[in-house]
């Protein structure tokens, strides 16, 4: 099996954008091609990670539109929808296309246009992934977070403030990310006094609704140096995908994300490393509670101990294991199909030494992209070549 | 309308809180075509016959179109009896409204005992994105059991 390299990457500014989905995808795609020093005609495969352009915008067929805009015909195209983990699933598909030998050059572009919808409408589009017996009760992804946060705080005797500190940390990191929706610090009092959204969670425990796009270019590692200097590409050393129950309440332990544990086991084994070898991680902090759950189920911390690591500063940018140096979904924003791609973009920047003021010492980085409330997960491990 | 989307036994019949029993004894709510470890469905369990305890709850203030605001929700775990050794049988559902016309829902806490109470319409069909005919909209809320 071919080892797979990432030789180019880009992301647009995340936030409220005037551009529509096809324009966002083209903006990121064109920039990633430039970064890799290639043109659309060099692509064998072109994937688009996107959850709901039809539902949000009435625009389907986005991979075909993107191929035309970038002059990528006759590349094979496909849209990858795995809800919020569409980006991670797209990374998996792109990696698979190269590793299998089906493609010699693949680009993945993830994107979503959401902010023209009201919060209620956007929440309902996302909640449409739920089972009918959940949907009819008006359940939303934020309400799953509230239910889980209350159970976690009760079960592990964690203080409410610890969740707020995730938001404070990630907003602090986002200040140095020029692509982030919010380049603004928040203090703990602001988080804890913000309006209740899903008790015990409040407004600042949640990511915003966002427009944006991100892109990655893949090729076999054996030819990566023909495109870019040897220290400017990264290798996908491990990747794994897994699925948990559709119905959230049917999980044995609602505070455990089985898909995170299963997908990371596969990724660690492929990379030949363990959680202690990870230098930096991007986790899917759509809600603050998810950073605790993932950091534990990835094996970084014991079950019920993730909150203590945040309290102790272990996950700060200058801590032992920096988590969400990009600002995470919390500060950077969460354009559904783009988020998993943007997570890998941040890890790529970190392991190639191009993260600017966000740079940490990192040879190995991990991105964990979660769909639904842990329903589908992709874990990706990148290694630098410096 | 697909069977799995409905809690009720059919029009004109008293609604039941339908869970599935599988070969090997496991019970799940909602019912699935295939049970744990690939076992086949062998029967139906009416969860109205079982009390439950609150595992966790939330009050959601940012609700989608057609959903009451605020919307109190709980995950509950049913007491299936000493002979049951399958996976936990749980449901997620709305907390019932008080019967004093205040429009407020009951207060609940983790470990509280609750019982299901049927509601004809849990949210307004067609107000949200899902096709109204694709599923049922009645179901069971939970109210505290008076000690």
Domain ranges of chain B: 3-144
Cβ-nearest to A119 among B29, B62, B92: B62
B residues 7-46 lying closer than 8 A (beta carbon) to A:
7, 28-30
Assess whether pLDDT exceeds 70 at residue A261: yes
CA distance B147 to chain A (A): 24
Whether residue A355 is contained in a domain is answered as no
Tokens of B76: 């509950």
Helix intervals (H) in chain A? 21-36, 53-57, 62-70, 86-99, 119-127, 132-135, 141-156, 160-174, 188-193, 221-227, 258-271, 288-297, 306-311, 328-332, 336-351
Do the beta carbons of residue A82 and residue A93 sit within 8 Å?
no
- How far apart CA A44 and CA A72 sit, in angstroms, is 8
Cβ-nearest to A138 among B7, B68, B110: B68
CA distance A201 to chain B (A): 9
What's the whole-number mean pLDDT along residues A309-315? 98
This model of the complex carries an ipTM of 0.95
At B4 the pLDDT is 42
Nearest chain A alpha carbon to B6: A133
Do the beta carbons of residue A67 and residue A251 sit within 8 Å?
no
Instruction: Give SS3 for B141.
Output: strand
**Residue A51 is part of which domain span?**
4-117+209-231
Assess whether pLDDT exceeds 60 at residue A269: yes
At A355 the pLDDT is 98
User: For residue B101, what pLDDT band results from cuts at 50, 70 and 90?
Assistant: confident
> What's the structural domain count of chain A?
1
Whether residue A343 is contained in a domain is answered as no
Tokens of A331: 């500060």
Tokens 């992301």 map to which residue? A11
Residue positions counted in chain A: 386
Instruction: Give SS3 for B93.
Output: strand
Which CATH number fits the domain that encloses residue A33?
3.40.47.10
- How far apart CA A291 and CA B11 sit, in angstroms, is 45
Do the beta carbons of residue A249 and residue A32 sit within 8 Å?
no
Cβ distance A195 to B61 less than 8 Å, yes or no, reads yes
Please spell the DSSP secondary structure of A206-261, one letter per residue.
Answer: B--B-BEEEEEEEEEHHHHHHHS-GGG-EEEEEEEEEE--SSGGGSSSTT--HHHH
Chain A interface mutation, best of B19, B33, B92, B96, highest count of A Cβ atoms under 10 Å: B92
pTM for the whole structure: 0.96
């Amino acid at each position: 099996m071919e080892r797979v390299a990432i030789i180019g990457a880009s992301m647009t500014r995340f936030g409220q954008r005037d551009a529509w989905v096809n324009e966002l995808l083209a903006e990121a795609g064109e920039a990633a091609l430039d970064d890799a020093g290639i043109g659309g005609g060099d692509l064998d495969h072109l994937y688009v990670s996107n959850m709901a352009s039809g539902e949000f915008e009435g625009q389907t067929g986005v991979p075909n539109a993107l191929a035309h805009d970038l002059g990528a015909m006759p590349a094979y195209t496909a849209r990858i929808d795995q809800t919020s983990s569409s980006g991670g699933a797209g990374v998996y598909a792109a990696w698979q296309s190269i590793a299998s030998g089906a493609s010699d050059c693949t680009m993945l572009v993830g994107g979503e246009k959401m902010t023209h919808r009201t919060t209620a409408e956007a929440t309902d589009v996302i909640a449409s992934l739920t089972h009918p017996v959940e949907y009819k009760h008006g359940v939303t992804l934020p309400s799953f977070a509230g239910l889980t946060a209350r159970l976690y705080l009760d079960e592990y005797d964690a203080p409410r403030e610890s969740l707020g500190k995730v938001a404070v940390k990630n907003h602090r990191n986002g200040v140095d990310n020029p692509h982030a929706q919010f380049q603004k610090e928040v203090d703990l009092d602001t988080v804890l006094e913000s309006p209740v959204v899903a008790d015990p969670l409040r407004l600042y425990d949640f990511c915003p609704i966002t427009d944006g796009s991100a892109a990655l270019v893949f090729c076999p590692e054996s030819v990566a140096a023909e495109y870019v200097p040897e220290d400017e590409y990264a290798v996908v050393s491990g990747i794994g995908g897994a699925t948990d129950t559709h119905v959230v309440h049917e999980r044995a332990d609602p505070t455990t994300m089985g898909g995170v544990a299963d997908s990371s086991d596969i990724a660690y084994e492929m990379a030949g490393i363990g959680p202690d070898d990870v230098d930096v991680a991007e986790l899917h902090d759509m809600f603050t509670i998810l950073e605790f759950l993932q950091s534990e189920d990835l094996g970084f911390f014991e079950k019920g101990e993730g909150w203590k690591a945040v309290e102790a500063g272990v996950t700060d940018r200058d801590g032992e294991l920096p988590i969400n140096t990009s600002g995470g979904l919390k500060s950077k924003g969460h354009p559904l199909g783009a988020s998993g791609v943007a997570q890998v973009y941040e890890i790529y920047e970190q392991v190639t030494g191009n993260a600017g003021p966000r740079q940490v010492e990192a040879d190995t980085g991990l991105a964990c992209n979660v769909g639904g409330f842990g329903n589908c997960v992709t874990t990706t491990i990148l290694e630098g070549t410096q | 309308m697909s069977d799995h989307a409905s809690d009720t036994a059919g029009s004109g019949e008293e609604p039941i809180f339908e869970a599935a029993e599988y070969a090997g004894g496991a019970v799940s709510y909602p019912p699935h075509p295939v049970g744990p470890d690939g076992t086949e469905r062998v029967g139906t369990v009416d969860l109205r016959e079982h009390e439950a305890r609150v595992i966790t709850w939330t009050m959601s203030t940012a609700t989608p179109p057609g959903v009451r605001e605020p919307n109190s929700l709980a995950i509950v775990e049913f007491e299936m009896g000493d002979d049951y050794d399958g996976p936990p049988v749980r449901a997620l559902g709305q907390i019932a409204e008080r019967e004093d016309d205040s429009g407020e829902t009951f207060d609940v806490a983790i470990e509280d005992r609750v019982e299901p109470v049927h509601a004809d319409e849990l949210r307004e069909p067609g107000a949200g994105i899902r096709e109204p005919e694709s599923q049922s909209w009645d179901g069971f809320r939970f109210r505290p059991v008076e000690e």
